Chains A and B, each alone.
Chain A
Amino acid sequence: MPVDTTSRDTAVVTFRPRPSRGGAWLVAVAVGIVVLMVAPLLPVAGEIPLPILLVNVGIGLLFAIPLLVLAAWIPTMRYELDDEALTLRYGPILRYRIPLDEIQEMRRKNLKISLWSSMRFPGLALFTVPYADEGRVKMCATAAADRILLIDTRRGTYGVTPADEEAFVAAVRARIGA
């Protein structure tokens, strides 16, 4: 198992997701929103009422700040494997715990993206994302569609993108005893 993608303590093996440009996309979208909301007002900032200026800036920041916070949490994405469960984490806002005895199948697939997405950007997919071919998948991944490792359980399907997929699958299989 490659050392650079995992760290061990006594019982938990931690896997990191593969790198992506998801953070750059989030920052770019956040900056784009602020620019589109604020830039047109700058040349006439002295002529329009302050409340209108503040409302525009506020609306821009309302959308931009959450995106920047999400980008800041990308380094915290990880997959923790212990003797009982696989836990997918992303900052303090996402935690999926998958009991090992519920895992039925693991498969790699390029997913077909649906327009009806929740938290999905190029290079980042979080929470429940509807896909055109797989239906609803609980995502904690640094890719929206390409080479997603799907974990089928009795309660649903999860999507992850471990940096070292081979080691990840081997570790899960070893813990399951399959």
Chain B
Amino acid sequence: MPGIYIMAVITVSISAAAYTGLLRIVTPHWRRYLWLALPALPLSAIVNRLIKQPIGEGVAAWAGVSTDQLGTAPLWFLLFLLLLSPLTEEAIKIVPLLLPRARAWLGSRDGALWTGFALGVGFGIGEAAFIAYGIAQSPDYAGMPWYLFTGYLNERFIVCFGHGVMTAVLVTGLTQGRPLRGYVGAVLLHTAANAGALAYQAGWVPVEVATLSLTVVVLLLAVIFERLRRQALRETSPAARDAEEVVLFRRNRTDGGP
């Protein structure tokens, strides 16, 4: 068995456990969102095999461009490749919302945030498995032992978070009546996350720059994630917040102090 499959099992397990843990920590209603990751699992394979691959190969054949030598590809083709994944993946990630049950909690910012996040993380976990399959098909990597794929583990673990935030941006936009803004925001974030890797593949930048650019984007995604959370918290009614709080002791103004 190719070593990448062992690392893929480890990666999927760690990601599933960690993001389930994150959901448990950040929302008391984590169980209602967890299942949303399941219909999102196969979406990466579907969009890659049925949409991105035919379109990418078709355009490359039409333009006479070799996808194995991106360094010699024209700029417009690189831009096309850069946008192909964000445009298609951000759209397909919300397909599970066609299920009425998946739309059950979209009435609030809080529900939209965690619905989107669960869908995105599910997509990311499925993508990790799909990429492992792709790596296993490569003769260069098929014989490598599993423990040499720690870079795959790190990258896929982080990318799951990235997909979660991007989809949260999109779903929040949808529920706020601004679907185009949500979609464009998610596509731009996705494009920024992929730009470093594509520039590296084209031979424009060294791997360190590509890694650094991904790190910067991940930090930006973390900032956006936290902002979405705070907006959702602000929307929570004061009555609901008070219900979660028990005052055990309150000093009278005459008990002391200034």
- Residues on A lying within 8 angstroms of B by beta carbon are 36, 39-40, 43, 101-110, 112-116, 122, 132-133, 144-145, 149, 154, 165, 169, 172-173, 176-178
Select which of A39, A132, A176 is within 8 A of B251 by beta carbon. A176
Whether the Cβ atoms of A178 and B148 lie closer than 8 Å is: no
Closest to A147 in B: B246
Chain B residues near A144 (CB-CB < 8 A): 25
Known A43-B147, A109-B245, A176-B255; judge A104-B226 contact (CB<8 A). Answer: no
Chain B residues near A178 (CB-CB < 8 A): 249, 251-252, 255
Whether the Cβ atoms of B150 and A40 lie closer than 8 Å is: yes
Q: How far is the CB of B121 from chain A (nearest CB, A)?
A: 15
Select which of A116, A145, A169 is within 8 A of B25 by beta carbon. A145
- Hey, what's the 0/1 contact readout for B14-31 against A, CB within 8 Å counting as 1? 000000010001101000
Whether the Cβ atoms of A107 and B26 lie closer than 8 Å is: no
Report the bound CA distance from A113 to B225 in whole Å. 12
Q: How far is the CB of A167 from chain B (nearest CB, A)?
A: 12
Query: Could you list 17 further interchain pairs (A-B, Cβ under 8 angstroms) beyond the known A132-B226, A178-B252?
Result: A39-B147, A40-B147, A40-B148, A40-B150, A102-B257, A105-B250, A106-B247, A107-B247, A109-B244, A109-B245, A112-B229, A113-B26, A133-B233, A172-B249, A176-B256, A178-B249, A178-B255
Q: How far is the CB of A22 from chain B (nearest CB, A)?
A: 14
Interface size class of B (residues with CB under 8 A): 20 to 34
Kindly state whether residue B230 has any CB partner on chain A within 8 Å. Answer: yes
Report the bound CA distance from A106 to B241 in whole Å. 16
Q: List 9 A-B contacts (CB under 8 A).
A: A104-B251, A105-B247, A106-B247, A110-B28, A116-B226, A122-B25, A132-B226, A173-B249, A178-B252
Chain A residues near B241 (CB-CB < 8 A): 133
Chain A residues near B50 (CB-CB < 8 A): none
Q: How far is the CB of B156 from chain A (nearest CB, A)?
A: 14
Whether the Cβ atoms of A106 and B248 lie closer than 8 Å is: yes
Chain A residues near B180 (CB-CB < 8 A): none
Closest to A165 in B: B248
Chain B residues near A39 (CB-CB < 8 A): 147
Q: List residues of B (23-64) whose CB comes within 8 Å of A's CBs.
A: 25-26, 28
Known A122-B21, A154-B257, A177-B255; judge A114-B247 contact (CB<8 A). Answer: no
Whether the Cβ atoms of B245 and A107 lie closer than 8 Å is: yes
Report the bound CA distance from A104 to B26 in whole Å. 28
Report the bound CA distance from A102 to B256 in whole Å. 8
Whether the Cβ atoms of B248 and A101 lie closer than 8 Å is: no
Kindly state whether residue B95 has any CB partner on chain A within 8 Å. Answer: no
Known A36-B150, A122-B25, A133-B233; judge A115-B222 contact (CB<8 A). Answer: yes
Kindly state whether residue B145 has any CB partner on chain A within 8 Å. Answer: yes
Report the bound CA distance from A34 to B71 in whole Å. 38
Chain A residues near B249 (CB-CB < 8 A): 105-107, 169, 172-173, 178
Closest to B245 in A: A109
Chain B residues near A176 (CB-CB < 8 A): 251, 255-256
Report the bound CA distance from A154 to B257 in whole Å. 9
Report the bound CA distance from A133 to B251 in whole Å. 22
Q: List residues of B (208-258) whose CB comes within 8 Å of A's CBs.
A: 222, 225-226, 229-230, 233, 241, 244-252, 255-258
